[in-house]
Structure formats: C-alpha cells, structure tokens
Chains A and B, each alone.
Chain A
Amino acid sequence: MKSTKVLGAALLMSTMLAVGSAQAKSLVYCSEGSPENFTPAMNTTGTSLDAARPVYNKLVQFTPGSTAVEPGLAESYEVSDGGKTITFHLRKGIKVHSGVNGFTPTRDLNADDVIFSFERQWKPEHPYAKVSGGAYDYFNDMGMPDLLEAVTKGGDDLTVVMKLSKPNAPILANLAMDFATIQSAEYADYLMKKGTPEQFDQIPVGTGSFQFVDYQKDAVIRFKAFDGWAGKPKVDDLIYAITPDATARYAKLKANECQVMGYPNPADLADMAKNPDVEVLQQAGLNIGYMAMNVQKAPFDNVEVRKAIAMAIDRDAILKEVYQGAGQKAKNPIPPTMWSYDESTVDIPYDPAKAKEMLAAAGVTSLDSDIWWMPVQRPYNPNAKRMAEMVQADLAKVGINTTLVSYEWGEYRKRMQAGEHQMGFLGWTGDNGDPDNFLAVLLGCDKDGKPNANNIPKWCNAKFQEDIIKASEITDQAERTALYQDAQKVVAAEVPWLNIAHSTVFEPIRKGVTGYKVSPLGAHEFQNVDVAE
C-alpha cells in the first residue's frame, strides 16, 4: 500500500513537472550574430549589447520603444550644485541573479556595485580594468573620463553621489546607455578569488528580468525568467537562436522556429506584409544619412554653391530607389522622433534649373569634384554606391563632373575625418536620444574653432557652437529645445551637408507576440513581451 502511495506521488509529481514544462512559455528571438562578450561596457556592436541586455539594468533606462529616460535601478535622483552633482537613490531589495557559474549573492545590489561598474571603466589601476582586454570605447567616446570627478557612496548603501567637472545635461541620457550597465561587485570579487576574472565578461550575473543560462557560440544563448525588482517577465525562457543570414531568419520566422527576428532583408519586406502569420512593426530610426561638402575646400566654402548642389540632387528618386520606401526625406540633421526637432525648417527643393543659375551667379561654370561612397551597407544608407551614381548623374546635369571614390571602410572613415574628400556620404545612428549626440558630435568644433573628428563637412560656426554648448549645460528641456532649434536653423541656412534620409527600422514578429516595442535606438528588448500559447 505504502509503495503504491509513493509510486502515485512520484507519478503525480512527474505529471506536474511534465505539465509544468509543457506550460513553460518560450520566446525565440532570431538574432544576427554571436556576442563578443557579455559586458556591455566593453562592446559597441548592437549584437553584443542585445545579448547582454536581458541580464542587466542601469541606474536610469530608456522607456521601451522610446528615447525617454525613466528610473531604473535608481528609483529617483536629484540634480544639485548647478548641475554638477547628481544623487541617485537606489531601490531597496534589488535581487542579484543566483546560481549562475556557482555564484550565490549574499546581499542585494547596492552603491558598491555602482561604484565598481564605473571605476572599472574609469580607473586604470582598478583590479578589473585590464580584464578581457579592457577597452571601454563608449565610456571614453561619451567623454566620461573628463566629465566624472567622483562616484561615491552617499549617506547609506543605497545612495550614490556622482560629481561632474561641469554641468552636463545629456549625462542622464548617457547613463541610460548600455555602457553604464551596473554589474555585481560581489560576483567580480568571487571570480577574482577563484582566479577566473575573465569569466566575469563571459558568464554574466546581473539584476535584469532574465537570468543567464547558457551560451553556445554561433548557436544559441539561453536565459530564464527572473523575478526581480522589475517583476517576473511574461515568458519563462528567452532563447536567442543565432541566425546570421537574413533570409534564413525570415524562413525561421515563417516556420515559427522563432517569434521575433532582427534586421530583415529589405527585399523580404513586401512578402512579410502579405504573410498572415507575420506582423511587421516599424519605427522611424534614430539616424541620419547625409552627403557632406567639405567647406574647407573651394568652391564648397561658398554657401551658395553648397545650396545649389543640394538643389540639384533629386532626393525623392534616391528615397525610392536606394531606400525602397524604407526611409523618409531628411530636412534637419536630427530625426523627427527626437525632441527639439525643428518642424519649421523649409526643405531645399529639387530645382536643377535654379541650381544651374545659382552656380553661374557664384562664378562656378565648370567644376570637377569627387564623391566618396562608403563600401558598406549601414542602417542610414543601404547602398551608398548606387546613391553616389545617382548624385553623379544629377550633378552632371548642372555641369558638375564628378569622380566616384571609395576605400576600405576603416580607411574611408579615417580619410574622411582627415578631410581628404570634397563631397562624400556618411551618417550616424544615435546613441541616447539626446540632440547633443547628433549636433555636437557631427557638427561641433572645439574651443579653438577646429572641427571635431566626426565633423565631416569640417564646418565650424560660432552661433551654432554657442547654441549647442549652452544647451548642453542647462537642464531645462524647454530652454534646451529653443537652443537646439536655433542651431538647426543655422544648419539649414549654411547647408554644410545635404540631409538625405532617416531610414526606418523594421521588426518582423509572429502574430500572437504581444508587448514588443521597436526601439528607435535599435535595441531588442523582451522584458514585457508575451507570446500566445
């Protein structure tokens, strides 16, 4: 009798387990590649950042599907000392993932973890600074070493005080970026004592909605739901099926082998729209594709010549042929989804006849120039070579003879930054949704009036510079908006480059997937996603 009971109980339990596993909800995301590692501070590629994002959180974060900044690990923060001090108040009881790589946390996340995460990137003498190669590109690119004066503990374990060398309005948007991910100092200590510190970047432990389970290079990354400070996610298992070919990703989506896929092939979009099982979400991308005119070289130093060239180019044709409808014509250097976008800007019309007149009035009767085109496909420019050919044909109609030039991608960018070009294509994808990340990075100059490296037109304007510097130092968004709109007016009047397009971001998902939001920043996030059983 006893053995029958035991057997019955075992059967019941196994049935429950079976039912439990049958009911486990899995979401498979067809990702495009393998991550370089799982520490966002060391990565710059979307592929690597996407892979680590489910595991981690930041002090502040972007609201899913937008560039608005909302509280993350810090439930609140105050800005004081004229914008030079930010005090973050961490949430109470933030649980850290347990059982990953043999690590069991003994405490909740606190200020020590925040300090650890910044100091690793900031201080070369930090014990983890050189681990896994120690390159913290974003931290340096965002100017954090110069900006940070101190990151210390406040009155208690849950208060972090960040002191800055100068007021900096974009800092909160910067802190919502992946490089500012907060990692566990206790896990770092555990691995250091174990003698395997490099595992810190390979086997991630964080506070995010999903706990890391396993990674098999070029095949799969597995996570399981974690009931942490943000609540338990709606799916139990999150699986990244690494599928590098875009057509294969779509084939998998059609076969329901994955429910969300990234980076569709533009040629497949029409078929996706017709597929009853697939929904194509889209959002205006936070990017700009442009054609720079090097104002340090004659006759591009003449604003009338630049305007005439802009007027001679048929951007509608480019939108149709190169972007195949997956983009919108740009009239400002920042995309329309970004706050402070200046709606009042009057776009330059396509008018080759007038362009010819303007060139003649400027004394340009014959002009030989180059047009540089990027050898790679980028989100903001899907086919720079074709674009260059179209521009070449348009300019020929107004008497400008052009030669097409290209180099290997790294070389191309380096030579353009050095100003070797006359005209050329490049673009930018925003990091944090702050206008400063476009206007200052792409058109800013230093205090001596020397263009920044990423200022490809090599254009410096005192009024523009004054606006963007002032806007970066004040925190009132209305005031900042006015200044950035004023700066956009200067750009519209000066035409250092021809704004070409902002491309659209597409995310195909299976019908039945709910809660998925397309990020204008290109992130793929799953904490609020559910999937029909």
Chain B
Amino acid sequence: MFRFFLKRAALTLPTFFALMFVTFTMIRLVPGDPIEVRRGERGISPERLAELRHDMGLDQPIWKQFLDYVWALLHGDFGTSIISKSPIAEEFLTLFPATLELTFCAMLFAVAVGVPAGVMAAAKRGSFYDQTLMGAALTGYSMPIFWWGLILILFMSNTLHLTPVSGRIDLIKYYFQPVTGFMLIDSIISGQKGAFLDAVRHLILPTIVLGTVPLAVIARMTRSSMLEVLEEDYVRTARAKGLSAFRVIGLHALRNALIPVVTVIGLQVGTLLAGAVLTETIFSWPGIGKWLVESIGRRDYPALQGGIMLIASVVILVNLIIDLLYGLINPRIRHGH
C-alpha cells in the first residue's frame, strides 16, 4: 500500500511543475500591467512606473522572474500580494477554510442526494421516477450557477424569508473572532446562543447552488454505473439466491458501482473549487474563489500564482486520496492488476 502511495505521489510531481510553468506564463500573457491597471484614467509617469516595476521585480527578464519564483516556492515562499502587501500563504489560509467548508457541504449534499437518487433511478429504470429524476439532473447540470443563485436568493430570501441573503453569519447578532476559520465550528466555540443554527442557515443556499452541478453528475453517473453492474452475473446470482432487493442493490451492486462514482467525485472537487468562484461572489462568501477573481482584475501576479498553485495542490491531493480509495475499494487496482 505504501509503495502504491509513493508511486501515485511521484506521478503528481510533473503535474505540479507543469502547472507552475503554465500558471506563470499564462498570467503574463493576459494584457495589462499590475501597476497601470490600478491607475485607471489617472495614468502614471514613465519614471514612477519604472520605479514601481523595479520594486516589484517586474523589470527583470521573464526567465529570471520565473526562476526566482520557483526558487522561492521551493523554499515555501508563495510571495506577497501586490495589492494588500500580505504574504500569499497567509491570505490563502485565512480564506481557504470558508471555501473548504462550503465545498465540503456542497459535496456532502451532492453525494447524499445524488447517490441514492441515481441508485433509485437505476432500480426503477424507465419508470416515471427515473425519467423525472434524470430530466431534473440534466436541468441541474445545465443550470448557470449565477442565475440559479440569484433565483434562489430572490425566492427563498426575499419572497419567502426562509434563508439569509448572503454572508456566513448574522453580523448584527453575532460577533466572535474566527478560531478555525470554519464558521460551523467557530460558532460552536463562541458559545453564543443560536450562532451555530444561524451559520447553518447561511450555508443552505450556497450549498445548494454549488452542489447542484456535482449532484446532477453524480446522480447520472451512479445510475449508469448501477445499470451496468445490475446486469452482471454475480448480481443475477445473488437475486437467484433469493436475497432481498435491498441486499442485492445496497451490498452487492452498489459497492462495485461506486468505483466510477468515486472517480467522478474526485474530479468534481476541481469543478466545485471552480464553481466556488461564482457561488462565493453571489453569496458574499469570503473564500479563495472571490479572492482569485479580484486578483485577476487587479493583475496581482503573486496572488494568482500562489493561489492557483495552492488550489491545484489541494485538487492533486484529493485525487491522490481518491486513487488510494480505489485501492481500498478494489484490491485489484492496488496490486496493479
């Protein structure tokens, strides 16, 4: 198992380096200078521009900038934001728990609803239920996140007054310093009455919005994977043995059907992080998605490079864990068969 882990981990290294290069160059291909973009119609004198570019090291040849960046990165230094002058790692760690909390809840929602829905659809293949569910999944998959978020806000918050519009907690009723950065945990630590429930209420809409697309994908994937497995001989044998439908589907079929579903769940982590950009903007969620979007607008090179590298590390790590999970679910993979 350990050798399997090492092998998989080694495979991520080239990915990481390729990503480092692509991120660095792509950002610089976007037109616009980080200093000039901030000046708007005001402009800047060529002397002052040269001075500021020198201070930021932007006057160095690109290859030198890249090598400096790699060298710093190898020493664990992700750089300093051009805008806030704060270390990137520090900004990332402040904002990442909010994204992680939202992503985790969205994934939980997607799996908790998507897998049973997919299983049920497969079990009742061709029924009205199956068709409705798959139709809904296709709609969910095609839903523009921004539009979906705003519709939910207008309906659930402004019309029915069931959920808060945005943010992570009621700012007037509750005030406490973040300890972990995870609002659900911090609200409990704070000991303030009602804070936890309020945090949960604030999570409902963003979770639904962010979880909708993965939910649709997971439901469809579970359904098709289940259909395939249900045709297998061993399932037929189990049925012939007189096992209950629940045992056949829940124990024999589902475990094998889950392998491709787990793959999809792993891939959806990347989708979720990408989707978080929009969800965080709509719901004023102080996470890394919103931070990265602003960094693009401001051409904050270090924030973009560092942020993307850190997110990529998370995605790579999650996929590594997923690979290891395959090994657990299916020993043949672990043993290289």
- Residue numbers of A with Cβ under 8 A of B are 26, 28, 33-34, 36-37, 44-45, 132-133, 135, 137, 140-141, 198, 201, 214, 216-220, 222, 237, 239, 241-245, 247-248, 251-252, 254-255, 257, 378, 407-411, 413-414, 417, 426-428, 453-454
Contacts and interface: CB of A to CB of B under 8 A. Distances in A.
Given A248-B153, A411-B31, A414-B36, A255 B45 contact: no
Interface in B51-107: 52, 55, 83-85, 91, 94-95, 98
Contacts of A135: 52
Contact of A410 (B39, B95, B283): B39
A243 B42 contact: no
Given A410-B36, A413-B43, A251 B167 contact: no
B158 A244 contact: no
Given A217-B94, A251-B165, A409 B32 contact: yes
Contacts of B48: 140
Interface in B119-177: 150, 153-154, 157-158, 161, 164-168, 171-172, 175, 177
A251 B157 contact: yes
A426 B42 CA distance: 11
Contact of A36 (B84, B95, B175, B291): B84
B42 A44 contact: yes
B310 to A, nearest CB: 16
Contact of B32 (A137, A222, A245, A410): A410
B33 A242 contact: no
**Tier of interface size on chain B:** 35 or more
B190 interface: no
B228 interface: no
B43 A409 contact: no
B85 A252 contact: no
A216 B178 contact: yes
Contacts of A44: 38-40, 42
30 contacts: A33-B294, A133-B85, A140-B48, A141-B42, A217-B91, A217-B95, A218-B95, A218-B290, A218-B291, A219-B284, A220-B167, A237-B172, A241-B167, A243-B284, A251-B153, A251-B154, A252-B165, A254-B158, A255-B157, A408-B32, A410-B32, A410-B33, A410-B37, A411-B31, A411-B32, A411-B36, A414-B36, A428-B41, A453-B45, A454-B42
B327 interface: no
A245 B164 CA distance: 15
B17 to A, nearest CB: 29
B286 interface: yes
A257 B45 contact: no
A413 B36 contact: yes
A428 B286 CA distance: 32
A491 B153 CA distance: 50
A292 to B, nearest CB: 12
A217 B41 contact: no
A252 B167 CA distance: 10
A411 B52 CA distance: 17
Contacts of A141: 42
Nearest to B278: A245
B282 interface: yes
A413 B161 CA distance: 46
Given A198-B85, A248-B153, A255-B161, A216 B286 contact: yes
A45 B84 CA distance: 13
Contacts of A217: 91, 94-95, 286, 291
Given A244-B290, A251-B150, A426-B41, 8 more contacts: A33-B294, A141-B42, A214-B175, A217-B95, A255-B158, A255-B164, A407-B31, A411-B36
Contacts of B39: 44, 137, 410, 413
B154 A222 contact: no
A242 B284 contact: yes
Contact of B172 (A28, A34, A219, A251): A28
Nearest to B94: A217
A131 to B, nearest CB: 9
B282 A245 contact: yes
Nearest to A411: B31
A427 B41 contact: yes
A407 B41 CA distance: 13
Nearest to B149: A248
